[in-house]
């Protein structure tokens, strides 16, 4: 059961059918999860924004950096050209090079890409080096290619899976989480989907309820033993709303406001990146074109506010979903991270009258 | 009575003695408030970070732009050089030029500045054009100079005063608000003070409680009559923590996370700017110097997280304080904006078990 | 006679008919020049990108900051929203507030703007405080409104006029300069026009010829008396090429490469700003619209290089033109700045075989 | 012989003893060059800013992006934290992942780094896919580790070596180039060293002489066959001047002005990145520290202009050096790129009276 199934209703907008990033039409997610008794707890989560050859049919995209202590690959080219040309892959910090290389392999395997000599791999990461023996760099190119291959539409597994296999969030077991929002028909009926890899700290609150304080477990609960090596949060936002890169960047920035509402603080040690891209069919950018021009029909600046609200709500809920789905895990060097104690949490939610 | 006096306790850190930006030693605030029966409801709020000639003794500063739909003066030079050389003045949108000119006058009146030919005025604004007949541009240089002159340490008036005289926040009367946090001695014992001019929209929540939803009054409550001309939020952060400009910029960015926790969304029409500066005595930057060098003793990156938490909490509370202090106002063309209904609000807070 | 008339041919592209920013169809420039025997040598240069009500018909725009030691007004809103809504006004550093206020007046005087309550004035400046008694802030709103009113198409006066009345460049008298380039028909036939207010330092070179070194007059010629209070360079780039804001920003960045070719170094004390905007009719952005959408037909990223070359060449030539047109001037407190010595300069150009 | 040996004297400042980045005390450069008859012409250039364990003794650093069409690794963390923690490695575009992984290996091999679980590899690249069979991704981790290992002080090989083995610049064979400048003792006596991997286009000029035009070989000489897939330019700037990250960023930005003076235009397809770092011993940033504070003695903003001039001159000369050293090469699929024709070039330089 997900947070919403327990009566935790975040925000004022409706979710999509699956309440997942895959509510955005055409989006596929693939995951490879590795849990081994020798201390390997890591994985790969791949997000494919559409079904075509992405390199030949790029899509508008932007990245907002909430806090840049991270190793994300692909940033500067996305910012300069305003588009992405590979799927988005999430994994652990030290496996970014492997995933980048795998995305080059992936791109090369399309016959139409046979002359391509430059690929801007987009790879995000968080550091699962507490539960996972990260220095072994267990992820191989094959793992990444498998995640890309097994990507599908429909429901997405959350919690200790994919790139979230070994992550920790607010001191509890974190992981992959997802959520979505749908705008009213009169406002375009667009879908905004969010997927997070949660691995950060702060003072957890769920729909405004001070869970971290009540459980006496948060980043500052023992101030002289404050944990400094906070992880990070990777946030992927996809929407079918027709947004140009400037407005995708503004949309991406709002995801951090959603993270804020869970109690996150974008700590010094955190790599908080938001990748936002539009899957709107009319906005595809052909790699080659006979024309000097391209025509875009996009939303006006004045009509963004509901999308901003949507991404804030979906980010908040995706993070909470990651916590609800994750399970306690014993990992590398016997590190043990407990899941969010569900029963107690729901009790506290009830105490604060926040279960519908 | 302020929010905290009613038992609303935001965050995990302690406030300063006054729970105000003036808890930061040496900081003075001056305000000029204009309420006239002919539709003028506006004013000036001036913040002086220290008592000396600021032009000759600049201080490290940075600006984070949450959303740049605004007319803030001074941005690029602060970003390039890393310091401010005038007090910070807040006023209404159309009076920024007047306030900028007044800060030049102010700077010129110091005898030691008699050769100065370049002044980077720092002026923030929000648009009070609903309640205030803003097109009349009533603010004069004299009003600004008066605010600078009457600045003092100690308690700060909140609500419908100064630059907040005519602002609107979450559909309720907004205004000036302030709050502060103090770090534990073992972590430096620093003070972080925040002052806001609240004039923005979203779905109000107070300490996590869904006030806007309960009162059925929020930006999206009537989705087809959504109000687009959202105002803005000016946020001023001062601290005695010794931070270089890079880390002041990072601190400033966190203030937006505090705004997020009140339900703000940084709407398209919002000008959300955070000015952060350090009052640490050792970090003063002399306008002229015999040496090519300057020496700074600053906090390491690793020791910022408590300051981040402090600025998030203080920003959240400063916004809530502005709402609690503001009073219903009838203004220009009989526009009437109600204050946050205190009794009902406290009832809702109680319903959600959020009054101590 | 302008530089080109002497046989100085900069670059590989053709100039427009006037070799001026006014080669871009519809662009008008107006100037007010003030030279007074009591030490006032300053003025205003106004650039109107098109003939309509600009507030109601905004145009895509971006600003690149080469070095941000300056007081430009309007930056953050242009960056956030991607457009300008007023003409561009240039003046001296301390008159930016006056010019900003005047642009609000200007905007308010259009009947269709009678409900407008927010105006993002765009004002650039350089510091003419050597020749001009800048602390008197002689420029009035009337001067600015006059420059806006007298704006016209056709030839532009260069040198000691308008905002360049009192500026200094490479130690010689600087001022207003302009130039343009036209792309081949097969590449769209677009025009790129540049206007500069030159007031900066470095080691002057003209079309690659080391004039500053030969004349033994440059920023580093007497290294222990190096002049630190360098002025600035304001660069305005207009084009009828259909560019979105992202690519206007990239175009703007290239103007600094043109400045570099004159020997400029973007010194610490310099405020080097490039404002680029597209006058393409199809890219007008209506202030109000019945539609949520807007459609733009823009150049692809792949077809920008000739525009980049054009702006580099036109910026270089505009700066040189400002030096050729400017005349020696005695100003405030008997400061005397010599014009570039034309005869000697041409001799040196000949010595280096650089006159056609 | 290098450009200067032929009498080409760029700028007004003195070079260091070697006229190389290794004039900056302690800097080492290592290169691995691969030329194979089966179409492999690529390599690795590694720059070590100092002799210690860089991860434990980070140095202040910043990156300026002239044009972001590139795959540089390490950007966001450098920008967020203001330092680098690995050597800087240059290679070809598709080998960035390999080089990133190798830098992790390199870091792990230091015993003191045995607990390190996060490494921010700094890898730059240009695309040598014309002469090199880049899709084979021939570079291995061993090549990178070898370049790091063989790094040494002293003279640096230029031209078709290391990461410049297969690059093309202004249509001629490009490659690795280096240069340096030394400030006068009275101004601190600092050294600025630059190393470039030249692979970009434009209209070549050497010390202001229009070589590209005279040779009728430049990017726009046949306008309808304009070559769009321009490469890039990686620029590494090291200095012993004590600069904080903000001023390193400003220094980095000036390197693009040096590139401009060679006729470069930062084309759409170019990835032009400048990495600047300070080797000043007092500015080392310990990975771990018992103190919350660190003390930095840095240059004031007012004393940067000579450093700006130095980096501009050294970048210009480093690029020209790369062209003078590079030799004609036949590579992948019989692509042949000629070296800059030395004799003709010198004749043209003479025609323009630019040989001392």
CA distances from D214 to C41, C206, D201, D217 (A): 43, 18, 16, 8
| Residues B188, B21: Cα–Cα separation, whole Å | 18
Segment D151-156 mean pLDDT:
98
Neighbors of chain C with 3 or more C-beta pairs under 8 Å: A, B, D
Q: Of C232, C240, C278, C322, which is the active-site residue?
A: C232
Q: What is the pLDDT of residue D100?
A: 98
Interface membership of B186 toward D (CB under 8 Å): no
B205-247 residue pLDDT tens: 999 999 999 999 999 988 666 555 568 999 999 999 999 999 9
| Residues A58, A308: Cα–Cα separation, whole Å | 23
Q: Whose CA is closest to A306, among C290, C291, B221?
A: B221
Using the structure block, give the residue that is written with the tokens 């420059």: C147
| Minimum-distance CB partner of B265 among A228, A257, A352 | A257
Chain B neighbours among A 96-125 (CB < 8 Å)? none
pLDDT above 60 (res D172):
yes
Interface membership of D298 toward B (CB under 8 Å): yes
Q: What is the pLDDT of residue B111?
A: 98
Using the structure block, give the residue that is written with the tokens 């996009």: A298
pLDDT band for D231, please (50, 70, 90 cuts): confident
CB atoms near residue D300 (< 10 Å): 15
Side-chain-side CA neighbours of A14 within 13 Å: the count stands at 12
Q: What is the pLDDT of residue D356?
A: 87
Q: Whose CA is closest to C313, among B353, A270, D251, D218?
A: D218
Q: What is the pLDDT of residue D130?
A: 95
A259-299 residue pLDDT tens: 999 999 999 999 999 999 999 999 999 999 999 999 999 99
Interface membership of A79 toward C (CB under 8 Å): no
* Nearest-neighbour CA in chain C from B107: distance (Å): 11
Residues of chain C predicted below pLDDT 50 = none
Q: What is the pLDDT of residue A257?
A: 98
Q: What is the pLDDT of residue C225?
A: 64
Q: Whose CA is closest to D135, among C193, A107, A329, A152?
A: A107
Interface membership of C271 toward D (CB under 8 Å): no
Rounded to two decimals, the ipTM of the complex is: 0.97
Which conformational region is residue D18 in: left (phi greater than 0), alpha (psi within -120 to 50 degrees), or beta?
A: alpha
Record: contact C257-D257, CB cut-off 8 A = yes
CATH number of D3-288+298-351: 3.60.70.12
Query: What would the two tokens of residue A176 be?
Result: 């992959």
Segment D230-246 mean pLDDT:
95
Residue of D nearest to B82 (CA): D246
CB atoms near residue A38 (< 10 Å): 8
| Minimum-distance CB partner of A127 among D69, D71, D118 | D118
Q: What is the pLDDT of residue C227?
A: 57
Q: What is the pLDDT of residue B226?
A: 59
Q: Of B180, B232, B278, B322, which is the active-site residue?
A: B232
Q: Whose CA is closest to C321, among C153, C147, C169, C218?
A: C169
pLDDT greater at residue D190 or residue C224: D190
pLDDT above 90 (res A256):
yes
Residue of D nearest to C209 (CA): D208
> Hey, which residues does D126 pair with through a beta bridge?
D92
Collect all residues of chain D within an 8 Å Cβ-Cβ radius of residue A134: 117
Collect all residues of chain C within an 8 Å Cβ-Cβ radius of residue A297: 293-295
Record: contact B292-D301, CB cut-off 8 A = no
| Residues D13, D190: Cα–Cα separation, whole Å | 12
| Residues C65, C145: Cα–Cα separation, whole Å | 27
* Nearest-neighbour CA in chain B from D182: distance (Å): 17
Q: What is the pLDDT of residue D225?
A: 64
Record: contact A312-B226, CB cut-off 8 A = no
Directed axis angle between helix B305-325 and helix B245-261, to 10°? 50
Scored b (16 or more CB within 10 A) or e, D86-115 reads bbbbbbbbbbbbbbbbbbbbbbbeeeebee
Record: contact C127-B108, CB cut-off 8 A = no
Q: What is the pLDDT of residue B222?
A: 83
| Residues B232, B234: Cα–Cα separation, whole Å | 7
Q: What is the pLDDT of residue B227?
A: 57
| Residues A274, A235: Cα–Cα separation, whole Å | 5
The SS3 assignment for A108 reads: helix
- Residue D164: which residues within 8 A CB-CB, separation 6 or more? D43, D45, D158, D174, D175, D176, D177, D197, D198, D199, D322, D326
The full DSSP string for C323-355 is HHH---EE-GGG-EEPPP-HHHHHHHHHHTT--
The SS3 assignment for D254 reads: helix
CATH number of B3-351: 3.60.70.12
Q: Which of A1-5, B220-224, B319-323, D72-76 has the lowest mean pLDDT?
A: B220-224
Residue of A nearest to C290 (CA): A300
| Residues A59, A77: Cα–Cα separation, whole Å | 13
A64-103 residue pLDDT tens: 999 999 999 999 999 999 999 999 999 999 999 999 999 9
Collect all residues of chain C within an 8 Å Cβ-Cβ radius of residue A300: 289, 291-294
Q: How many CB pairs under 8 A join C and D?
A: 135
Interface membership of A93 toward D (CB under 8 Å): yes
Interface membership of A208 toward B (CB under 8 Å): yes
Using the structure block, give the residue that is written with the tokens 């809103």: C77
| Residues D140, D318: Cα–Cα separation, whole Å | 27
In the 3-class helix/strand/coil scheme, how is chain B assigned residue by residue? Answer: CCHHHHCCCCCCCECCCCCCHHHCCCCEEEEEEEEECCCEEEEEEEEECCCCCCCCEEEEEEEEEEEECCCCECHHHHHHHCEECCCEEEEEHHHHHHHHHHHHHHHHCCHHHCCCCCCCCEEEEECCCCCCCHHHCCCCHHHHHHHHHCCECCCCCCECCHHHCCCEECCEECCEEEEEEECCHHHCCCEEEEEEEEECCECCCECCECHHHHCCCCCCCCHHHCCCCCCEEEEEEEECCCCCHHHHHHHHHHHHHHHHHCCECCCCCCEEEEEEEECCHHHCEECCCCCCEEEEEEECHHHCHHHHHHHHHHHHHHHHHHHHHCCCEECHHHCEECCCCHHHHHHHHHHCCCCC
Interface membership of C199 toward B (CB under 8 Å): no
Per-residue pLDDT of chain B (356 residues; tens, 9 = 90+): 999 999 999 999 999 999 999 999 999 999 999 999 999 999 999 999 999 999 999 999 999 999 999 999 999 999 999 999 999 999 999 999 999 999 999 999 999 999 999 999 999 999 999 999 999 999 999 999 999 999 999 999 999 999 999 999 999 999 999 999 999 999 999 999 999 999 999 999 999 999 999 999 999 988 666 555 568 999 999 999 999 999 999 999 999 999 999 999 999 999 999 999 999 999 999 999 999 999 999 999 999 999 999 999 999 999 999 999 999 999 999 999 999 999 999 999 999 999 98
Segment A109-137 mean pLDDT:
97
Q: Are D192 and D307 in contact (CB under 8 A)?
A: yes
pLDDT above 90 (res D224):
no
Q: Are B186 and D292 in contact (CB under 8 A)?
A: no
Segment A167-189 mean pLDDT:
97
Q: Are B313 and B13 in contact (CB under 8 A)?
A: yes
Hey, what CATH topology would domain A11-347 get?
A: 3.60.70
Interface membership of C75 toward D (CB under 8 Å): no
Query: What would the two tokens of residue C100 be?
Result: 């900003």
Which of B248, B300, B307, B308 has the most D C-beta neighbours within 10 Å, making it the best mutation to test the interface with D? Answer: B300
Which conformational region is residue D54 in: left (phi greater than 0), alpha (psi within -120 to 50 degrees), or beta?
A: alpha
Collect all residues of chain C within an 8 Å Cβ-Cβ radius of residue B93: 117-118
Collect all residues of chain C within an 8 Å Cβ-Cβ radius of residue B62: none
Computed over every residue of chain D, the mean pLDDT equals: 97
Q: How many CB pairs under 8 A join B and C?
A: 102
Nearest-10 Cα torsion for B306, B307, B313, B318? 160
Residue of C nearest to A301 (CA): C81
Segment D69-96 mean pLDDT:
98
Which of B250, B293, B295 has the most D C-beta neighbours within 10 Å, making it the best mutation to test the interface with D? Answer: B293
Q: How many CB pairs under 8 A join B and D?
A: 56
> Which helix H or strand E contains A33, and what residues bound it?
strand A28-36
To the query of whether residue C270 is one of the catalytic residues in this protein, the response is yes
The SS3 assignment for C44 reads: strand
Residue of D nearest to B186 (CA): D292
D112-121 residue pLDDT tens: 999 999 999 9
Computed over every residue of chain A, the mean pLDDT equals: 96
**Domain residue spans of chain B:** 3-351
Which of D213, D228, D254, D265 has the most C C-beta neighbours within 10 Å, making it the best mutation to test the interface with C? Answer: D265
Record: contact D81-B301, CB cut-off 8 A = yes
CATH number of C13-288+295-331: 3.60.70.12
Neighbors of chain A with 3 or more C-beta pairs under 8 Å: B, C, D
Collect all residues of chain C within an 8 Å Cβ-Cβ radius of residue D356: none
Segment A176-200 mean pLDDT:
97
To the query of whether residue A272 is one of the catalytic residues in this protein, the response is yes
Q: Are D59 and D277 in contact (CB under 8 A)?
A: yes
Collect all residues of chain A within an 8 Å Cβ-Cβ radius of residue C300: 289, 291-294
Interface membership of D216 toward C (CB under 8 Å): no
* Nearest-neighbour CA in chain B from D298: distance (Å): 5
Taking every pair of C-alpha atoms in chain A, what is the biggest distance, in angstroms? 64
């Amino acid at each position: 059961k997900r947070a919403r199934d327990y009566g935790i209703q975040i925000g004022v907008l409706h979710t999509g059918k699956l309440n997942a990033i895959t509510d955005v039409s055409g989006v596929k997610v693939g995951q490879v999860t590795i849990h081994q008794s020798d201390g390997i707890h890591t994985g790969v989560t791949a997000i494919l924004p559409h079904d075509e050859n992405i390199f030949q049919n790029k899509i508008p995209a932007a990245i907002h950096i909430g806090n840049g202590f991270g190793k994300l690959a692909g940033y500067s080219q996305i910012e300069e050209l305003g588009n992405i040309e590979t799927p988005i892959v999430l994994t652990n910090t030290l496996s970014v090079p492997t995933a980048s290389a795998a995305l080059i392999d992936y791109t090369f395997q399309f016959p139409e890409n046979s002359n391509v000599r430059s690929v801007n791999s987009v790879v995000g990461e968080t550091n699962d080096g507490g539960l996972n023996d990260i220095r072994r760099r267990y992820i191989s190119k094959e793992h990444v290619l498998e995640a890309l291959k097994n990507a599908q539409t429909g429901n997405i597994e959350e919690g200790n899976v994919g790139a979230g296999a070994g992550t920790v969030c607010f001191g509890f077991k974190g992981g992959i989480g997802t959520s979505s929002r749908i705008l009213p028909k009169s406002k375009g009926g667009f879908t905004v989907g969010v997927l997070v890899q949660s691995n950060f700290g702060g003072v957890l609150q769920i729909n405004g309820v001070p869970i971290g304080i009540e459980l006496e477990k948060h980043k500052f609960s023992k101030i002289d033993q404050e944990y400094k090596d906070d992880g990070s949060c990777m946030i992927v936002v996809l929407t079918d709303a027709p947004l140009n890169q400037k407005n995708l960047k503004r949309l991406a920035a709002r995801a951090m406001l959603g993270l804020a509402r869970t109690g996150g603080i974008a700590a010094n040690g955190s790599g908080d990146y938001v990748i936002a891209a539009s899957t709107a069919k009319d906005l595809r950018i052909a790699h080659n074109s006979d024309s000097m021009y391209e025509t875009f029909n996009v939303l006006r600046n004045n009509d963004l506010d509901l999308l901003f609200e949507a991404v804030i709500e979906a980010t908040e809920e995706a993070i909470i979903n990651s916590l609800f789905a994750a399970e306690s895990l014993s990992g590398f060097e016997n590190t043990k991270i407990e899941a969010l104690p569900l029963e107690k949490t729901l009790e506290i939610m009830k105490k604060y009258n926040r279960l519908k």
